[in-house]
Amino acid sequence: MLTEKEIHDVPETQLDMSRLPQHIAIIMDGNGRWAQARGMERAAGHVEGVTTVRRITEECSRLGIGYLTLYAFSTENWNRPQAEVDALMHLIATAIERETPDLIKNNVRLRVIGDRSRMPADTLARLERCVRDTSGGSGLTLVLAISYSSRWEITDAARRIAAEAAAGRLDPASITDDTVARNLATAFMPDPDLLIRTGGDMRVSNFLLWQIAYSEIYITDIYWPDFNAYDLRRAISDYQSRQRRFGLTGEQVQ
């Protein structure tokens, strides 16, 4: 573990650039508490959270990370007060539209995972325009999980696999974990190597449950609006200090 002094001082040279996580997934939590601690409306925390999205996307892009998946809006978030839901949808759509030219300039490709059928038409249209306009990006892939939950995703995959079997195109005996993975919304990318959660809660909140089977988990008390490039590098440094065993013994891995 790093000392407090080192927390805000992880020079790049301390990172092993040949062993960076290929895919980082983040549960961006603590926007509401960040705002409330300052006597502000929760929405102000989400607005500040967008600045962090930009900062962390830039840092991942600069470091050469392949995939960054951000949990922007869960299936359960639809049950928040309508005003907050509307504000979040609007914020995501306008931020993405505003950032599209910079995403293109930085070679970032946007992808969206989640239940599109529940998204407001306007939000969906703006997201899909950005996905289309950035599709040529060959650098970082930024994946926004919006109206997403793992149980939705796995249920949806099960439904499609069952339909294939019922139609006689798939033998149930031939179904493997690869069949399931290929039917998930995340089929186009590798599983996360590193899962970060800000805001201090020790849970995974219905996020990428299948995909994080062997991810390294890093939880920080820092609220998402305060999370910065140093904090990200600290998380990566911590990740690099761990031995990933994938169910094997330490000796086998060595």
Among 20, 43, 68, 95, binds ligand FPP (CB under 6 A): 95
Q: Which is nearer to ligand FPP, 35 or 157 (CB)?
A: 35
Q: Which stretch binds ligand FPP (CB under 6 A): 23-31, 60-68, 117-125, 202-210?
A: 23-31
Among 89, 143, 144, 195, binds ligand FPP (CB under 6 A): 144
Among 10, 23, 46, 134, binds ligand FPP (CB under 6 A): 46
Among 10, 20, 63, 70, binds ligand FPP (CB under 6 A): 70
Q: Could you tell me if 136 and 100 are in contact, meaning their C-beta atoms sit under 8 angstroms apart?
A: no
| Catalytic residue flag (residue 77) | yes
Work out how close the CB of 2 gets to ligand FPP at its nearest, in angstroms, rounded to a whole number: 25
Buried b / exposed e over 226-246, threshold 16 CB at 10 Å, is ebebebbbbbbbbbeeeeeee
Examine residue 75 and tell whether it contacts ligand FPP (CB under 6 A). Answer: no
The DSSP string of the chain is: ---HHHHT---GGGS-GGG--SEEEEE---HHHHHHTTT--HHHHHHHHHHHHHHHHHHHHHHT-SEEEEEEEEGGGGGS-HHHHHHHHHHHHHHHHHHHHHHHHTT-EEEEES-GGGS-HHHHHHHHHHHHHTTT--SPEEEEEEEE-HHHHHHHHHHHHHHHHHTTSS-GGG--HHHHHHTSTTTTSPPPSEEEE-SS----TTSSTTTTTT-EEEE-SS-GGG--HHHHHHHHHHHHTSPP-TTS-HHHH-
Q: Which is nearer to ligand FPP, 70 or 157 (CB)?
A: 70
Find the binding residues for ligand FPP in span 113-142 (CB under 6 A).
none
Among 32, 114, 137, 192, binds ligand FPP (CB under 6 A): 32
Among 10, 20, 49, 140, binds ligand FPP (CB under 6 A): 49
Q: Give the angle 49-52-54 at the CA atoms, nearest 5°.
A: 115
Work out how close the CB of 55 gets to ligand FPP at its nearest, in angstroms, rounded to a whole number: 11
Q: Which of 77, 106, 206, 228 is catalytic?
A: 77
Among 20, 29, 130, 150, binds ligand FPP (CB under 6 A): 29
Q: Which is nearer to ligand FPP, 63 or 92 (CB)?
A: 92
| Dihedral sign of CA atoms 34, 37, 38, 41 in order | positive
Q: Which stretch binds ligand FPP (CB under 6 A): 31-39, 114-122, 126-134, 204-212?
A: 31-39
Catalytic residues: 29, 77
Q: Which positions lie near ligand FPP, rule CB under 6 A?
A: 28-33, 42, 46, 49-50, 53, 70, 72, 77, 88, 91-92, 95-96, 144, 199, 224
